[in-house]
Chain A
């Protein structure tokens, strides 16, 4: 069965970076992309970007350009999302989700990773 298992909760100080992992299983990793979505406490869903796991092509939300990097490692079927220059308003739960194509709805989600940014 398809599963996406994310890394554990993180606490960072403002200005630091965080890298969240998302390990996929149960399907051919390079046949799909991975979308990253974040959700601030008590807020809605915010699309962050998408990475094509076959060729590494990415699309990022304009608001995060320059601070976010999405990568994949096909040898371990793992996707990564790194966010730099963290601010307190980056505190959120970050989700990865399998996505069939660049313009496609997601079909399986990871459990989420809470990143807390606090001094």
Chain B
């Protein structure tokens, strides 16, 4: 199985900050990576697929990059509604797996 790790696990930031979350895969997955945002008590909200393509309706302050084994999710200017937990998911091979999550909290 492909394992995903995320760093940091927890991030404290202020409104307006530029935030970067890293996702690393245990083996190469080309660009078969997605990102999700989840707020407490809610379903995950798809943000990005194929490493860098924004889902419909997602703000352009979110961006993704990477390939192979290292990927990043960047929020260019953190907004109050962005405080949440972020998960990466590889869709390269079965079983599909999620990263453990990165919680973005208010500083």
Contacts and interface: CB of A to CB of B under 8 A. Distances in A.
Interface string A81-119: 000000000000001010000011111111110000000
Interface stretch (B20-28, B72-80, B97-105): B97-105
Interface band, chain B: 20 to 34
B89 interface: yes
Contacts of B96: 35, 47, 50, 103
- Classify the secondary structure of B's interface with A: loop
A61 interface: yes
B62 to A, nearest CB: 14
Interface of B: 32, 34, 36, 38, 42-46, 49-50, 55-56, 87, 89, 91-101
14 contacts: A44-B99, A44-B100, A45-B87, A45-B89, A46-B98, A47-B98, A59-B94, A95-B43, A104-B49, A105-B34, A105-B46, A105-B49, A105-B91, A112-B42
